[in-house]
Amino acid sequence: MMKLNTKTRSWTIHIDPEWVAWLVFNLPGEKVNKLTATAMAELDETLDELAADERIKAVAIRSEKQDSFIVGADINELLAIASVAEARTKSELGQRIFAKIAALEVPTVAVIHGACMGGGLELALACDYRLVSDHPKTSLAVPEVNLGILPGWGGTQRLPRLLALPVALKMMLAGKPMSGRAARRVGLADGAVTPAFLADQTRRFVDGVLTPAGVRRVRRRRRRAQRDLLSRLGRTPLGRRFILHRARKDVLNRTHGVYPAPLEIVDVVGRTLRRRLEPAHFAAEAEAFSRLAVTAISRNLVGLFLGSQRMKRRVKGGPDRPTIAAGVVGAGIMGGGIAWALARAGLRVRMKDINWPAVNQGTAAAAGMFKSLVDRRKMTKGAMNLAMHRITGTIDWRGFRPSDIVIEAVVENLKIKHQVLTEIETHVPPTTIIATNTSSLSLRALATPLQHPRRFVGLHFFNPVNRMQLVEVIAGKKTSRDTVLAAAELVRRMGKLPIVVGDCPGFLVNRILLPYLIESTWMFEEGVTTDRIDHALERFGMPMGPLRLVDEVGIDTGYKVAKELESAYGERMHVASVLGDVVDAGTLLGKKSGRGFYLYDNGTPRPNDDANALVSAARERDGVAPIEVTDADIVDRAVLIMVNEAARCLDEGVVDDPELLDMAMVMGTGFAPFRGGLLRYADERGIERVHDRLEELADRYGERFRPAGFLQKLAKRGRRFHAAR
């Protein structure tokens, strides 16, 4: 095999005896391949060499990295873009280089094994054919929308011409990865190969497409992938208008119009989707990319992405021996979700409760989460059955001694948790970590009866476990560092993000979130309607209004946690009496009972007149006069009270980094990602303005709004929560 282009560091050409050129990408000094500016410049030169060699019959592009093709552009370079002109130049350069791949006069094949993301997929789209490995780590996506931009190297042009329009739009608007199997099913991949025989099977495919019969076979497979009604509809002008109109409507319903990138994607595709590719089409893509790349929204979303990467690396170290077996005590919905996450990570799980119906409920919860993966084609039925066989149930303590960790997930009651934790300690060896899944009770209080508190740690999973990525790892005063590291490593193994927080009632996320929910119920008691409160905060960027969120959590559950925090923090978390009235009514429990602040009997939530009657009675009893507020008042009362509590958490060392706090609030509560996080929002609004607005709110509504000491210091010194990015 001949080797050319040895001067290039990232790209190497190997030519086999049959004159098939293998273009191999191996970015030096990195675990994965990224399309850095240097790598793109080298690719530009390398493509010129390939185009000049008339002996070459085909080109196959592959990665030298293990389990990774190309993860996309260098995100740090995206963050460094300083102007619209610079962004346009970057987009046009990538388009020009990938156009060279498309212009090669021989068949080109992208051989995709592992992650193929963003610019990596755009490179593959410029090839004539795409082969994927059938390995679980192979995934394809154009996730640029999650960074506040759109595919800027030809993706908005080539993807809708290759795939059915609804499929292409879904890929670009959702930004979610697609497995290799799914890619072949929709026509994105032209074949699937076995990783162990990647080179041989690729060569066989190349030999095939060098013949007319092989080309016809590929074209037939692509046509079969687009036989459904929507695919055929997308090939007509009227059908395209319908699909694009529906996509735009869905985007607006989902984002309330606060994210410009998905709307730009729909607009660019709508203006440029013609049968023939033209330079003006790529120019429209570059123009839209250049506008988006320099927005504050894009910078905030990129900052969150980089923060999540740093978060994964933040807590280093782990146990000397791997965690292979776990116990879960408490087999409710939460316990079943934790068992699901452990079994999915490959652990053997022993789940206990006081009777078999309760154990069966937990098993059913885990099975439902696995079935959801199967339904979405993220898991095979065989893999689901294998995972479910790792979960066993019991109503006694048999089978718990081999556990490396036991997670308690019983009701949020200190006395009951004490009893359960004491029992766990007597039935497991001294090496077993004991964890509690608590949302509000402090570890100091929970650890009181334990003989060995060094191995006791908090693991606060958020509900639903299968959808929420964040897990708070709570270090008690006596918890050993090794215990914290082992717990955090287990969380990572489950595919979730651990954040280590200090011990206090509510920990970090709930301590900051509860004032937001409590303040919303105060506004409700003062006469502001449920839908007005919720709509104002949804327009701000929250995924769900606060009163809808209380219904989702369960009004009784939320009230119990709120009262716990009121006991701990006093007047600033005093719960509105109407919330107690709703709980006392007994039938208004939220979505789980079909009745709460909203009614859920016909699929579309609508305000509940019974809740409105209760608030009217509470106002009359408590002497609360209805008030007039603006939507800006609603947002500031709900959001700035969170900023104030977050400042206290930083000052007390509950978390030591504003970036971590922002990541926790985005991942744990869905706080508007485009705003970059709670404290980033405060910084961009201006700390002095936030301080002054809180003073104004304190004068109007009470001392709970009075600026925290740390916030006062920042405002006085003209500083921000975050250092300049």
Residue 18 CA, distance from chain mean position: 46
At 449-469, the pLDDT tens digits run 999 999 999 999 998 899 999
Q: Which of 30, 175, 24 is nearest to 111 (CA)?
A: 24
Distance separating alpha carbons of residues 479 and 458, to the nearest angstrom: 9
Catalytic, out of 135, 427, 460, 722: 460
Helices (H), 294-435: 296-314, 333-344, 356-375, 381-388, 414-427
Confidence check: pLDDT of 320 > 70: no
Task: Give residue 105's pLDDT band: very low, low, confident or very high (50, 70, 90).
Answer: very high
Ranges 314-328, 415-429, 557-571: which has the least confidence:
314-328
Q: DSSP 3-state assignment of 489?
A: helix
- Quick one: DSSP state of residue 194? -
Q: Which of 701, 685, 573 is nearest to 629 (CA)?
A: 701
pLDDT, mean over the chain: 91
Mean pLDDT, residues 374-389: 91
- Determine the pLDDT at residue 593: 86
Pull the structure tokens for residue 276.
Answer: 């023939």
Q: Is 460 a catalytic residue?
A: yes
Domain ranges across the chain: 2-294, 325-505, 510-654+686-717
Residue 641 CA, distance from chain mean position: 25
Residue 632, Cβ neighbours under 10 Å: how many?
A: 11
Confidence check: pLDDT of 231 > 60: yes
Same fold, 325-505 and 510-654+686-717: no
Which helix (H) or strand (E) segment holds residue 15: the answer is strand 11-15
The answer to whether residues 421 and 441 touch, using CB atoms and an 8 Å cutoff, is no
At 659-708, the pLDDT tens digits run 999 999 999 999 999 999 999 999 999 999 999 999 999 999 999 999 99
Q: DSSP 3-state assignment of 113?
A: coil
Cα torsion 388, 391, 392, 395 to 10°: value is: -120
Could you confirm whether domain 325-505 is CATH 3.40.1410.10? no
Percent of the chain with pLDDT over 70: 97
Nearest-5° Cα angle at 509, 508 to 512:
85
Ranges 123-137, 310-324, 612-626, 688-702: which has the least confidence:
310-324
Q: DSSP 3-state assignment of 461?
A: strand
CATH class entry, domain 510-654+686-717: mainly alpha
Q: Which of 318, 241, 309 is nearest to 273 (CA)?
A: 241
At 3-15, the pLDDT tens digits run 554 445 899 999 9
What is 2-294's CATH topology?
Answer: 2-enoyl-CoA Hydratase; Chain A, domain 1 (3.90.226)
- Cis before 464 (ω within 30): yes
The string over 289-313, giving b where at least 16 C-beta atoms fall within 10 Å of a residue's C-beta and e elsewhere, is bbbbbbeebbbbbbbbbbbeeebee
User: Long-range contacts made by residues 336-339, C-beta under 8 angstroms, separation at least 24?
Assistant: 336/361, 336/362, 336/363, 336/364, 336/365, 336/366, 336/369, 337/365, 337/366, 337/369, 337/461, 337/463, 337/464, 337/465, 337/466, 338/407, 338/409, 338/437, 338/461, 338/465, 339/363, 339/365, 339/366, 339/391
Strand 470-475 versus strand 456-461 pairing type: antiparallel
At 153-195, the pLDDT tens digits run 999 999 999 999 999 999 999 999 999 989 999 999 999 988 8
Non-local CB neighbours of 436 within 8 Å, separated by 6+ positions = 407, 408, 417, 421, 443, 446, 456, 457, 458, 459
* pTM for the full predicted model: 0.86
Q: Which of 557, 635, 548, 558 is nearest to 596 (CA)?
A: 548
- Max CA separation in the chain (angstroms): 91
- Determine the pLDDT at residue 226: 77
Confidence check: pLDDT of 725 > 60: no
- Determine the pLDDT at residue 617: 82
